[in-house]
Structure 1
Amino acid sequence: MSVVRRILPLPAPGETAFLSGVLRSESVGGLLALGAALVALVWANSPADSSYHAFITFDVGPLDLEHWGADGALTLFFFVAGLELKREFVVGSLRRPADALVPVTAALCGVAVPALLYTLVNVTASSGRPGGWAIPAATDIAFALAVLSVVGSHLPASLRAFLLTLAVVDDLVVIVIIAVVFTDTVHVVDLLASLALAVLWAVLQRMRVGSGWVYLPIAVATWWFMHESGVHATIAGVLLGLLTRVRRDPGEEHSPGEVLEHRLSPVSAALAVPFFALVSAGVPISGGDALLHDPVVIGVLIGLVLGKPIGVLGGTYVVTRLTRAELNEDLTWGQMLGVSMLAGIGFTVSLLVSDLSFSGPEADAAKAGVLAASVIAALLGALVLRHPRRVVP
Structure 2
Amino acid sequence: MTAPNPDTGHENESRENGSRERRTVLFGRLPLGERTFLADALRTETVGGMLLLAAAVVALVMANTGLSGFYEDVKGFHFGPEALHLNLSVADWAKDGLLTVFFFVAGIELKRELVAGELRDPKAAALPIVSALCGMVVPALVYTGFALGGGGDLKGWAIPMATDIAFALGVLAVLGTGLPSALRAFLLTLAVVDDLGAIIIIAIFYSAGISVWALLASVAGLALFWFLHHRGVRGWYVYVPLALVIWALMHASGVHATVAGVAMGLLLRCTLAPGEKTSPAEHIEHLVRPLSAGLAVPLFALFAAGVGISEKALRDVFTQPETLGVVLGLLAGKTLGVFGGAWLAARFTKAELNRDLAWADVLAIAALSGIGFTVSLLISELAFSGDPGLTDEAKAAVLMGSLLAAVLAGVVLKLRAKKYRSLLEDEDRDEDGDGIPDIYEQDNPEYHLRMAALHEAKAAEHRRLAEVAGARDVSDDGPA
* Residue-by-residue CA offset, 1:118-150 (whole Å, 9 max, x unaligned): 000110013x11211000011111011222344
The equivalent of 1:16 in structure 2 is 35
Aligned-partner residue type, residue 345 of structure 2: V
**Structure-1 separation of matches of 2:179 and 2:64:** 38
Q: CA deviation at 1:48?
A: 2.3
Matched, 1:33 2:57: no
Structure 1 residues 9 and 208 mapped into 2: Cα distance closer, same or farther (>3 Å)?
farther
**Structure-2 separation of matches of 1:197 and 1:65:** 26
**Alignment RMSD, CA only?**
1.5
**Structure-2 separation of matches of 1:389 and 1:20:** 19
Counterparts of residues 108-187 of structure 1 (less than 5 Å): 108-126=133-151, 128-151=152-175, 153-187=177-211
* 3-state secondary structure, aligned to 2:24: coil
The equivalent of 2:414 in structure 1 is 386
Aligned-partner residue type, residue 66 of structure 1: A
Equivalent pairs: percent with the same residue? 50
Matched, 1:374 2:402: yes
Q: CA deviation at 1:12?
A: 2.7
The equivalent of 2:390 in structure 1 is 362
1:152/1:385 contact within 8 Å kept: no
- Structure 2 gaps of 5+ residues are 1-12, 14-20, 81-86, 419-480
**Structure-2 separation of matches of 1:201 and 1:9:** 38
Which structure's relative contact order is higher, taking Cα pairs within 8 Å and 6+ residues apart?
1
Aligned-partner residue type, residue 237 of structure 2: W
Q: CA deviation at 1:60?
A: 3.1
* Residue-by-residue CA offset, 1:28-77 (whole Å, 9 max, x unaligned): 11111111111111111112211111011112323221011100110000
Q: CA deviation at 1:8?
A: 2.7
**Structure-2 separation of matches of 1:81 and 1:141:** 11
**Structure-2 separation of matches of 1:138 and 1:101:** 19
The equivalent of 1:269 in structure 2 is 293
Q: CA deviation at 1:155?
A: 2.6
Matched, 1:94 2:119: yes
Matched, 1:306 2:332: yes
TM normalised by structure 2 equals 0.79
The equivalent of 2:347 in structure 1 is 321
1:156/1:330 contact within 8 Å kept: no
Aligned-partner residue type, residue 361 of structure 1: G
2:177/2:414 contact within 8 Å kept: no
Structure 1 residues 151 and 39 mapped into 2: Cα distance closer, same or farther (>3 Å)?
closer
**Structure-1 separation of matches of 2:230 and 2:141:** 42
Aligned-partner residue type, residue 123 of structure 1: L
Matched, 1:246 2:265: no
TM normalised by structure 1 equals 0.96
Aligned-partner residue type, residue 37 of structure 1: A
Aligned-partner residue type, residue 165 of structure 2: I
Kindly tell me the number of residue pairs found equivalent between the two proteins.
389
Counterparts of residues 282-301 of structure 1 (less than 5 Å): 282-286=306-310, 287-288=312-313, 289-301=315-327
Aligned-partner residue type, residue 26 of structure 1: E
Aligned-partner residue type, residue 390 of structure 2: E
**Structure-2 separation of matches of 1:285 and 1:389:** 33
Pick the structure with greater CA Rg. Answer: 2
**Structure-1 separation of matches of 2:201 and 2:29:** 30
The equivalent of 1:334 in structure 2 is 360
Structure 1 residues 40 and 24 mapped into 2: Cα distance closer, same or farther (>3 Å)?
same
* Residue-by-residue CA offset, 1:177-230 (whole Å, 9 max, x unaligned): 000001111111111111101001111121121222211111110000000100
Q: CA deviation at 1:389?
A: 9.5
* 3-state secondary structure, aligned to 1:94: helix
* 3-state secondary structure, aligned to 2:207: coil
**Structure-1 separation of matches of 2:295 and 2:34:** 25
**Structure-2 separation of matches of 1:297 and 1:250:** 54
* 3-state secondary structure, aligned to 1:5: strand
Aligned-partner residue type, residue 329 of structure 2: G
- Structure 1 gaps of 5+ residues are none
Q: CA deviation at 1:9?
A: 4.4
The equivalent of 2:221 in structure 1 is 197
Q: Which runs of 4+ in 1 moved over 6 A?
A: none
The equivalent of 2:431 in structure 1 is none
Aligned-partner residue type, residue 48 of structure 2: G
1:11/1:93 contact within 8 Å kept: no
Structure 1 residues 95 and 56 mapped into 2: Cα distance closer, same or farther (>3 Å)?
same
The equivalent of 1:103 in structure 2 is 128
Question: Which deviates more, 149-158 or 100-109?
Answer: 149-158
Q: CA deviation at 1:292?
A: 2.7
2:46/2:173 contact within 8 Å kept: yes
Q: CA deviation at 1:154?
A: 4.1
**Structure-1 separation of matches of 2:169 and 2:350:** 29
Aligned-partner residue type, residue 352 of structure 1: L
Aligned-partner residue type, residue 270 of structure 1: G
